[in-house]
Amino acid sequence: MPYAMDGLPERVTIHEVGPRDGLQNEKTVVATEVKAEFVERLADAGLTRIETTSFVHPKWVPQLADADDLLTRLERRPGIRYPVLVPNERGLERALALGVTEIAIFGSATESFARRNLNRSVETQFDMFAPVVERALANGLMVRAYLSMCFGDPWEGPVPVDQVVRAGRRLLDLGCAELSLGDTIGVGTPGHVAALIDAFGSPDRLAVHFHDTYGQALANTLTALRHGVSVVDASAGGIGGCPYAESATGNLATEDLVWMLDGLGVETGVDLRSLVSTSLWLAGLLGRPSPSRVVQALAKEA
Ligand code: HMG
Ligand code: MG
């Protein structure tokens, strides 16, 4: 029996990032057929937005070097969205050739991370993204934007809210439908989340993307929901991180999010038991237990 709380959306859309943010950070390269099965199982569990892979330089992220092969292999189901990360025109070419219908560009709010992750400055990252978004929109694609280091940066420390809002608005102004605010290293706390969302003026096109390094992801998510956000990024089993920011650990676990939302009576369309068994299956293949508390708690029942 759910116990509702005021000020929450009736329904939350989960943007599942396990196959991309999760697997990009694994030390071992996961076989393409395992990735395909992971995506299939996530769809079976009721996830409708599954970020599948990245069309980045294969040397930069060898874990996802099989992006073209994976997309070719994957049977894409109607009603399910399979966004992929695309940083530049070369990445877009590859994605278009495979019939991708949704991409995400990914910018940085800080100079240090822009250099490390994109080999660009904050300013020149927009020059790289602008033609990508323009061409993607002209081809009828949906475009999401990420902004990383929205709360703190491992090299620069706390990141001022106005610096984040400035960079985020520029990504939205390129024509992106949605902006996902990334706490890449998981240092944000609820008051900071509220201040950042409010500083944007409207939560309508915002999503949140919390890594759980300091155990704040769920509290931060609840705060974001109470401030009008209704799209939340999460990764099955809580896997994830960024190879270009070592202090980044796993994402908010989808199971932890669904447990909380089920308890609140907020709809997600996700079947928790089915998701838990998927994460247990993957943890077995990766050779280590899932960091998700809910996966651990439900493991015996699955
Ligand atoms: P660069 O070295 O500046 O690239 O890297 P370039 O434009 O100078 O091109 C150099 C060569 O790479 C060229 O080949 C290009 O064709 C090739 P050459 O002509 O010399 O033979 N190339 C490519 N090949 C295949 N696919 C491509 C591609 N692009 C260029 N897309 C670049 C710039 C952006 C490519 C590089 O920095 C890169 O790939 N970065 C990706 C890093 C990444 O994926 N990080 C993890 C994702 S972000 C994240 O996890 C954060 C997030 O979760 C949110 C959060 O938590 O905050 C989203
Ligand atoms: Mg991330």
Domain presence at residue 8: no
Nearest CA to ligand 1 atom 34: 118
For the chain (302 residues), the mean pLDDT of every run of 10, in chain order, is: 94 98 90 98 98 97 97 97 98 98 98 98 98 98 98 98 98 98 97 98 98 96 98 96 77 98 98 98 93 94 76
Number of domains in the chain: 1
Domain presence at residue 225: yes
Domain presence at residue 263: yes
Tokens of 277: 């068994």
Q: Which of 213, 122, 137 is nearest to 174 (CA)?
A: 137
302 Cα to the center of ligand 2, angstroms? 28
Domain presence at residue 51: yes
Tokens of 163: 């610096």
Residue count of the chain: 302
**How many whole angstroms separate alpha carbon 164 and alpha carbon 108?**
9
Q: Among the bound ligands, name the one nearest to the CA of residue 234.
A: 2
Domain presence at residue 73: yes
118 Cα to the center of ligand 1, angstroms? 6
Question: How much is the pLDDT for 240?
Answer: 84
Domain enclosing residue 287, as ranges: 13-301
Task: Summarize pLDDT for 24-68 with one digit per residue, the tens.
Answer: 988 888 999 999 999 999 999 999 999 999 999 999 999 999 999
Domain presence at residue 168: yes
Question: How much is the pLDDT for 1?
Answer: 80
Is 176 one of the annotated active-site residues of the chain?
no
Question: How much is the pLDDT for 280?
Answer: 98
Domain presence at residue 209: yes
Domain presence at residue 64: yes
Active-site residue among 61, 85, 92, 242?
242
Ligand 1 pocket, mutate which of 85, 90, 115, 178 (most atoms under 8 A from CB): 90
2 Cα to the center of ligand 2, angstroms? 30
The three-point CA angle 147-240-266 to 5° equals 75
Could you tell me where the DSSP H helices lie in the chain? Answer: 32-44, 67-73, 89-97, 111-118, 122-138, 161-173, 190-199, 217-226, 254-264, 272-286, 293-298
Q: What is the CATH number of the domain that holds 170?
A: 3.20.20.70
Tell me if 175 sits within 8 A of 133, measured CB to CB: yes
Contacts of 94 (CB under 8 A, 6+ apart): 55, 67, 68
